Copies of this chain bind each other. A is one copy, B any other.
């Protein structure tokens, strides 16, 4: 489909997708996936490639691998960021993609979107030193800088993206996680 791009978003294709899902809700059932392999110490690597969606197994343009590790101060070899840091990236990525789509759908011009996301964590939780301290972040903050259309419109776009963000929803409301173990 060839349509005009708004902020790099193909709004014709976006609206066509919404119409297709209205006609057949099964198109909207997605299952995302990552596989992870331990390397050594806290160093491990995930690969993201296949996913299920639009009633079929699909693949990304290419398989991509991401190393994770602990920094030296946390007794790792720093072959990559920690899991919690990837979680912050996931949040920024989800909100920013939503901002671009929503701005395009509304005809709001964007010239610049950047953000800094940070999370506070007291490691006495995961070190098992204080049962009153949680394991995860006590708070996450994300600060957006946008330029383009008038400030009120830009703020409304961020607000709508937050109201429709998959990652923000999971982080603020939680999700059931099932863990299975094959130990041999």
Contact = CB atoms under 8 A, between A and B. Distances in A.
Q: How large is the interface on A (under 10, 10 to 19, 20 to 34, 35 or more residues)?
A: 35 or more
B90 A87 contact: yes
B146 A183 contact: yes
Given A81-B60, A90-B86, A173-B174, A166 B121 contact: yes
A114 B38 contact: yes
A137 B94 CA distance: 13
A14 to B, nearest CB: 5
Nearest to A6: B41
Contact of A36 (B68, B87, B114): B114
Number of copies: 2
Contacts of A35: 92, 114-117
Interface string A1-18: 000010111100110011
Interface in A87-110: 87-101, 104, 110
A82 B11 CA distance: 19
Contacts of A87: 86-87, 90, 167, 170
Contact of A86 (B25, B86, B182): B86
Interface centre among A54, A68, A128, A184 (most CB of B within 10 A): A184
Contact of A101 (B37, B42, B117, B119): B42
B92 A46 contact: yes
Interface of A: 5, 7-10, 13-14, 17-18, 21-22, 25, 28-44, 46, 48, 51, 53-54, 58, 60-61, 64, 66, 68-76, 78-101, 104, 110, 112-130, 134-148, 150-155, 158, 162, 164-184
